Chain A
Amino acid sequence: MIIKCPHCGPREASEYTYIGDASIQRPDHNDTDMEKWSDYVFMRENPRGAHMEHWQHTSGCRSFVKVLRDTVTHEISDVTLEGPWQAEDKS
Chain B
Amino acid sequence: MSRYSAFSLIKNALSGHKNWKRTWRAAEPKPHYDVIIVGGGGHGLATAYYLAKEHGIRNVAVLEKGGLGSGNIGRNTTIVRSNYILPANTRFYEHSMKLWEGLSNDLNYNMMFSQRGVINLAHTPGQMDAFARRGNAILLEGVDAELLDTEEISRRVPGLYTGQNTRFPIVGGLCQPRGGTARHDAVAWGYARGADKYGVDIIEHCEVTGFIKDGDTVTGVKTTRGDISAPKVAISVAGNTSTVMKLASIDKMPIESHVLQAFVTEPLKPLINTVVTFGAGHLYISQSDKGGLVFGGDLDGYNSYAQRGNLPIFEHVAAAAVTMFPNLARLKLLRNWGGIMDMSMDGSPIICTGPLPGMYLNAGWCYGGFKATPAAGWCFAHTIANDAPHALNADFTLDRFYNGRQLDERGAGPYPAHQ
Query: Which A residues contact B (CB, under 8 angstroms)?
Result: 1, 12-14, 18, 20-21, 34-35, 38-39, 41-48, 51, 53, 69, 71-74
Contacts and interface: CB of A to CB of B under 8 A. Distances in A.
A69 B300 CA distance: 15
B417 interface: yes
A1 B302 CA distance: 11
A79 to B, nearest CB: 14
Nearest to A39: B252
Interface in B44-96: none
B402 A46 contact: no
Contacts of A46: 242, 252-253, 255-257, 303
Chain B interface size band reads 20 to 34
Contacts of A21: 256, 303
Contact of A44 (B253, B306, B310): B253
A1 B251 CA distance: 28
B112 to A, nearest CB: 34
A44 B256 contact: yes
A9 B255 CA distance: 32
B345 A42 contact: yes
B305 interface: yes
A71 B304 contact: yes
B414 interface: yes
A12 B313 CA distance: 13
Contacts of B304: 71-72, 74
Contacts of A39: 252
Interface of A is mostly: mixed
B417 A18 contact: yes
A72 to B, nearest CB: 5
A84 to B, nearest CB: 25
B254 A42 contact: yes
Contacts of A12: 312
Interface in B234-257: 240, 242-243, 251-257
A23 B245 CA distance: 19
Contacts of A45: 242, 251-252
A53 B310 contact: no
A14 B311 CA distance: 9
A63 B417 CA distance: 21
A51 B124 CA distance: 39
Nearest to A1: B310
A45 B257 CA distance: 10
A18 B243 contact: no
A20 to B, nearest CB: 8
A42 B303 contact: no
B4 interface: no
B310 A42 contact: no
